[in-house]
Each structure stands twice: as C-alpha cells, then as structure tokens.
Amino acid sequence: MEQKYLSLNLLNFTFSSQTLKCYLSQQETENSVSLTEKDLSFFINYLKLVPGTSALYSTFERPCEGGIPVTLGVSKTNPDSTEPLWSFSFLKKFYIFKLTNYFQTLGVIVRTNFVSDMEVWIPGVSPYSGCRGYKGFTLRVQFGRITNLPELLVSYDGVHSVLNEPLTGENCQELEPIKFSWLLYENTLIRYDEMTDKARRNAESVFPCLNKGLQRALKIPTPAPDKSNRYLRYRNEIESFRKQYLQPEDLKEFMVLNNGWTSRECQTLLTEGKLLNNLVFGNGGTDTEPKNGMKRFGPKKLTPNRKTVFFFICQRNDIQMALTINEYMSGKLPGFTGINKYAGIVYSTVKDFSVYFDNKENPLPEIVQVLDERIFDNDTRYVALYLSPFGKTDSDEAHKAIYYKLKEELLHRSIVSQVIEVEKNWTDRQTDIEKKAILKKGFNFAFPNIAVSLLAKLGGTPWSLANELADELVIGISAFKSEEMEKKYLGSAFSFSGEGNFYGFDCFRSNQLDELAGSILMAVREYCSGHKTLKRLVIHFYKTLSQKELEPIEKGLAKLKLDVPVVVLNINKMFSEDIVGFDMQQSHLMPYSFTYLPVGYNQYLLYNNGLQKGLNFDDKEGYPFPLKISFQYFPVGTFSSEPIDPLLIPDLFEQVCRFSQLYWKSISRQSLPVTLRYPEMLAKIVPHFSRPELPRTGKETLWFL
C-alpha cells in the first residue's frame, strides 16, 4: 500500500545546550514559577532540604536572593546514564518562560492559559462591530508526544475581539461585573477580578475582551460564519506566523528550531473494494449519498400506518407564508415533489385547524388556549409547522424561550413539530392576506431536509447502514452547557439495531450520574432480552470518562452478570483545532475521508468528510477538521483502563464514520457521529423545559430533530 504523509502544525526542536542552570528558592519572587509536586519531592531529596518543605520556585537562569543554583542535563547523552535530568514538566515551563520573554520584547500580547500553554495575540481585524481584533495563536511545548524529539505545537485560534469602549464607557458602566472576564491594559491581558492597582487607577485605558455574555448584553450582532476552506485559512495563518516570529535564527539562544513543519505517516480504513459509506434506502436500493438515495429510492422504512394531520402555528401576519408552504408540502409548486412522493407521508390538513396568534412577543398564552380547547383524535398523528417570527441567531433570550416552551407544550401533547423561520425565507410581503408569500430563491431546497426530519420524528427510517454492526450495544453521551441558564445537562442515546437505528433517549443534569448509569443499564437489559449475545459495550463519550462516572456502570454490569468488556471512545465533539494534519498534495489541503494517524499516547486524528477517491467532491459540504479520539479499554470486571489492542482500532473508527451517516435532520453529509450529535441536541433543549420529566414519547422518538 502506498505510504501517505500529512504535514502537522508542529515544529521539532532540539536543546541549545546539554545542561541548564537554574535558581531554586523557597520564596516566591517576581516572575518566578512554582515547581510541580513531583519536582518538589525530587528536589527536597536532591538538595537535602528540610522535610516538609511546602513549595519551591524557579527563576530559571536569573539569580535571586537566597536562590540555590542547580545545573542538570536536559537529555541523556548516554542511554546507560543514571544522572538526574530536568523533568519535562520543568522544561516546558522553562521554554514557555523564554518564549514569553521573546514575544514581550517584540511588544506582542501574550498570556499563559490554565494548562501552561502560551497564547500570542497579533493585531488583526474583528468581525464584530465596535471592536478591534487580534489573531490568536497557541504555542505548546511537549516532549516525545508525536515524534521522538521535543515539539513546539503552533495552533491558530481565530480572531479575539476587544471592545473599543473602555471599562469606564457609558455602556460598560451599566453592566454588572459578572459580564466581564478578560481585560486588555497596556498590551497586557488581566482578569477582571485580578486587576492591578495601576489598571484600576487608569480604568479609562482598560478595555474588555468580548465574550458571549458581554455580546448578548451589548446586543452586538453575530457575524455570518466564514464558510471558506478552513484548512487553507489555518495553514496560511500558522505559516505566516512561523515566518514572522519563529525563525531559527531568532530563537537560537534557547532552542534549535527546525525550519519547517513536521510530517507523519497516516493510515486509511479503506481496503481494496471496500465501501464504508454505502446506505440502504427504499426497496433495498443503495447509494453513498443521502440526497441521491432519497430521490432515487425513497425512505428505507415508512412511518407507521396512521392518519397524519398537518396544521400551522403562526402569527396572523404570516398566514400568506403558511399558504405557500402548504402548496410546497402538497407538491403543487415546482422545486419540490411534495412530502408524499418524497418521503411517503400522506399530506393532509383539516380546515380551520391551524392556530394563529396576534402577540408576537408572547404568543404562548394564545397558542395554549387554542390547543386546550381543541379536540385531538387519539388515532391520529399531528404535525405542527411552526412559523417562527424569530431566527436562531436572535440575541433576545425571551424570543429564544418561545421556541423551547412551545416545543415542550407540543411534546407533552404528543404533537410532532417542525420550525421554519419566517424572516429568513420570506422576501415579499403582500397586503392581500389571500395571496401566497413569495419566498426567497432556493427555499425549495430546504424541503428535502424538512421531509427527512419529519419522517424520522414520525417513526420512519430515511436510510440505514448497508452492513450490520457486530453484536454490540453502542451508547452515545454528550453534553451541553447553557451559558444563560448556567446549567449543564448530559444527553444519552442508545443504539440497539445492527443497522444503526436508535431506541431510547434521555437527558440528565450533569450531577445525576446514578440516573445516567441506570438508564444505560436498562438499555443493556433490553438489548440482551432481544439478542443472544453481547460482544462488548461501546460508549461514545464527549470527554474522558472518569472513574466516578464509570463505577456505577461497571457495578450495574456486574449485577446483570454480564462479562463483557467496555470500550469508551472519547470523541472531541468540537473537532480538533489544536492539532491538524494537512495533505500537501491536495490544493485544498484536506486529507481523504477515513484517514487516521496517531498524535500522542492513545490519541488519534480521524478524518471523516466528503472527500473520497474516485467520487466527486462537493465543496458545499465544507471542509471539516478531523475528530480527535482517544480510547479507554476496560476489561471484564475492572475499573482500570488498559491499552487497547491496536487491531481493534480500525473497526471502532469505522463505526464512528458510519454513525455519522445516520443524521436524519438533513440530507447533507455530517462529520460528527449521531451518537454525540443527537444527545447534544437533546441536552440543548431540555434545560429550558419547566416540567421535571420528559414524557414517554420524549424518550422514544426523535422529536428534537
């Protein structure tokens, strides 16, 4: 097989000297750095300090009063040598200290984050009104993580924004202090609650850094997202930064830096004749693309054979738009064949059944009153098409709350709902209420997504995986933290079907670990009641699973007398931005889908996108960054993870890629597996509900799509 290499955003370096002399003191001084607990323990013995010494500080190469000079090697010159060396944790702090001094002498803004990485801010342009911008870069020093040499990882963080108005400005003075986090004062970043006396005395020169809370409070509009090629943007930024600030000649005093990015060999999940993205549609038809398969073959499984009634919920001023959407749904307008022909759902309405309201700012009382008075047939499924006067990006929390409260009201009445934004799609308002609305060009392309979503919400299956999965239960757990509500919820989804169908959804507060574990065990019990064997339990988790989170699951498995291993895939749901690999043989730099490579101990990058050899690539699907995945493997009956067998990794990665194809909210290709996407969507909505429990239908259907 042809060897393939990806270029990483990593620069190797070597030490400028084989030894390093530093000064250690028990007294903290200006610009000194504290030693880790492990280093402290070593030096108490090495320097024969008084046992119980609580802290040691280093001023590195600068002598300090009472400081003890210590010279140690930085790396082994002889493999058999037993001479003590400076620890990697100490050397990381040393190099970050030297790099910080280097950038500060250039007048560049720097700060150290909570994991001792260094952030560098270079002047740029802010996309937010009333702000100035700074391009952010993170420098991380690590040793032997990806290569066998010291490494400098250079990441591009995007643009940070700082208000043009100072802390003493009229708008800022009207805000509560909790809205402020970081501040910029004289090229120095400081926390609001750690302002120096000098900054407090010169508050007119202190400028707040923009954050989500501050943006909402000041009603600063969110700019349209940049949908251009992320790989090109990222690579161009770090290369420009390297050429301007990271030339070997400039840093030779303390590191011998390579003049070029490091490359590493990658692997692929594909083998000769193997298809990982084949999907099954109606009548057994197969295709690799949902948009093509639905058009050619229709859905894999139709909704249960029950009468379905559609009705609209909208402001009276938007009745014209409802009339137009009604025509599209019934297939009477060009551009969409209708939901019956496309998804096999018979489109039916009842005269005078729709709900119209007058109060745009508070429609719930009007809507609920009508719903309470209405008689619903128990043998009929109802679908509410809600024409929302407010968009997803509306910064008004009261406007957002309307969507969530209405969703809850409909869910507890077992009414399926679909939201369509009015202002986003209506281009010409008529004064004659009987006339239909003229919608924006291209609106008809949204109907296949609406049809697929409604099909899944009503219990149908748009498409399934072509090859059945092994005898294993796959559970997805993801989280969403509501900043405005200051609540963190965990959502969970259970896959029982070899085809990848999902049965069972629930949502918990982040501290309800026993309840979460209980729901997982109920899923295991239900799976085992319908299957002969369970080979292993696979959990897709949005972060590393802690022992506290794992213990109730393991105890429950023991009670069920199930001797099965547990494999946890820790999948970064935000995609990897700190480390990225680039295919320099491609003009767009994005590696092929199903490519993966190791980027540290037990950690990998997995590329899951629309770029595949031999198939056409549609750049409208975007250029998603890779998933960063690590493993925890727990053998039968143990709480301690062990290294996973490398032979199992391709199979588990293949599973991740295939689960990303089961996103039934649209016909577009996705990169994040639904085992994380679905629970996150659930956890994003439920915290806004007023009722403590989801109804039964809320735990069995895909109502949240």
**Tens of pLDDT, residues 416-428:** 999 998 877 776 6
pLDDT given for residue 590 in this prediction: 95
pTM of the model: 0.91
Confidence at 39, pLDDT banded by 50, 70, 90: very high
Q: Which of 508, 417, 543 is nearest to 699 (CA)?
A: 508
Q: What is the crossing angle of helices 88-105 and 37-46, to 10°?
A: 110
Q: Which of 189, 24, 190 is nearest to 94 (CA)?
A: 24
**What are the structure tokens assigned to 239, written together?**
């290369």
* Distance from C-alpha of 465 to C-alpha of 480, rounded to nearest angstrom: 28
Tell whether the model's pLDDT for residue 315 goes beyond 80.
yes
CA distance from start to end of the chain: 41
Task: Enter the DSSP assignment of 194.
Answer: G
Amino acid at 676: L
* Long-range CB pairs of 532-537, under 8 A, 24+ apart, other chains included: 532/471, 533/471, 534/471, 534/472, 534/473, 534/562, 534/564, 535/470, 535/471, 535/472, 535/564, 536/472, 536/564, 536/565, 536/566, 536/567, 537/472, 537/473, 537/475, 537/564, 537/565, 537/566, 537/567
Fold of 468-575+626-699: Nucleotidyltransferase; domain 5 (3.30.420)
Question: If you average pLDDT over residues 20-41, what whole number do you get?
Answer: 89
* Distance from C-alpha of 383 to C-alpha of 390, rounded to nearest angstrom: 20
Cβ–Cβ < 8 Å for 627, 603: no
Angstrom CA distances, 384 to 415, 420, 430, 543, stand at: 7, 11, 24, 36
pLDDT given for residue 10 in this prediction: 97
* Long-range CB pairs of 300-305, under 8 A, 24+ apart, other chains included: 300/461, 300/462, 300/463, 300/464, 301/460, 301/461, 301/464, 302/344, 302/345, 302/460, 303/344, 303/345, 303/381, 303/455, 303/458, 303/459, 303/460, 304/458, 304/459
Q: Which of 126, 117, 137, 99 is nearest to 209 (CA)?
A: 126
Q: For the sheet containing 182-185, what is the strand order?
A: 188-191, 182-185, 206-208
pLDDT tens digits, one per residue of 351-362 = 999 999 999 999
Neighbours of 572 (CB within 10 A): 20
What does residue 530 show for φ and ψ, rounded to 5 degrees? -115, 0
Question: What residue segments make up the domains of the chain, in order of their start?
Answer: 80-259, 302-457, 468-575+626-699
Confidence at 229, pLDDT banded by 50, 70, 90: very high
Question: If you average pLDDT over residues 608-617, what whole number do you get?
Answer: 83
* Long-range CB pairs of 137-144, under 8 A, 24+ apart, other chains included: 137/237, 137/238, 137/241, 138/113, 138/578, 139/96, 139/99, 140/578, 141/91, 141/92, 141/95, 141/96, 141/99, 142/92, 143/88, 143/91, 143/92
Q: Which of 627, 641, 638, 541 is nearest to 577 (CA)?
A: 627
pLDDT given for residue 702 in this prediction: 92
Q: For the sheet containing 502-509, what is the strand order?
A: 502-509, 487-495, 472-482, 536-541, 566-571, 627-634, 603-606, 595-600, 263-268, 4-8, 581-582
Q: Which of 574, 543, 567 is nearest to 631 (CA)?
A: 567
Cβ–Cβ < 8 Å for 110, 100: yes
Cβ–Cβ < 8 Å for 660, 673: yes
Residue 514 C-beta-side C-alpha neighbours within 13 Å: 0
Question: If you average pLDDT over residues 554-580, what whole number do you get?
Answer: 82
Query: 107-127 burial by CB neighbour count: b if 16+ within 10 A, else e?
Result: ebbbebeeeebbbbbbebebe
Which residue would you say has higher pLDDT here, 396 or 484? 396
Name every residue whose Cβ is closer than 8 Å to that of residue 328 and which is 6 or more positions away in sequence. 335, 336, 338, 444, 447
pLDDT given for residue 193 in this prediction: 92
Strand partners, 185: 188, 206
* Distance from C-alpha of 512 to C-alpha of 467, rounded to nearest angstrom: 36
Estimate to the nearest angstrom the gap between the alpha carbon of 366 and the chain centroid: 37
pLDDT given for residue 428 in this prediction: 63
Confidence at 90, pLDDT banded by 50, 70, 90: very high
Q: Which of 508, 560, 572, 510 is nearest to 534 (CA)?
A: 560
Strand partners, 123: 134
Lowest mean pLDDT among 274-278, 281-285, 301-305, 564-568: 274-278
Name every residue whose Cβ is closer than 8 Å to that of residue 225 and which is 6 or more positions away in sequence. none
Question: If you average pLDDT over residues 341-346, what whole number do you get?
Answer: 95
pLDDT given for residue 469 in this prediction: 63
Tell whether the model's pLDDT for residue 273 goes beyond 60.
no
Name every residue whose Cβ is closer than 8 Å to that of residue 510 and which is 6 or more positions away in sequence. 479, 488, 489, 490
The alpha-carbon radius of gyration of the chain (Å, integer) is 29
Question: If you average pLDDT over residues 108-118, what whole number do you get?
Answer: 86
- Is residue 124 helix, strand or coil? strand
**What are the structure tokens assigned to 455, written together?**
């099909």
pLDDT given for residue 636 in this prediction: 80
Tell me if the domain spanning 302-457 has CATH number 1.25.40. no
pLDDT tens digits, one per residue of 123-169 = 999 999 999 999 999 999 999 999 999 999 999 999 999 999 999 99
Which residue would you say has higher pLDDT here, 430 or 363? 363
Cβ–Cβ < 8 Å for 429, 437: yes
Which residue would you say has higher pLDDT here, 574 or 676? 676
Confidence at 501, pLDDT banded by 50, 70, 90: confident
CA torsion angle 698 699 701 705 (round to 10): 70
Please check whether the two domains, 302-457 and 468-575+626-699, share a CATH topology: no
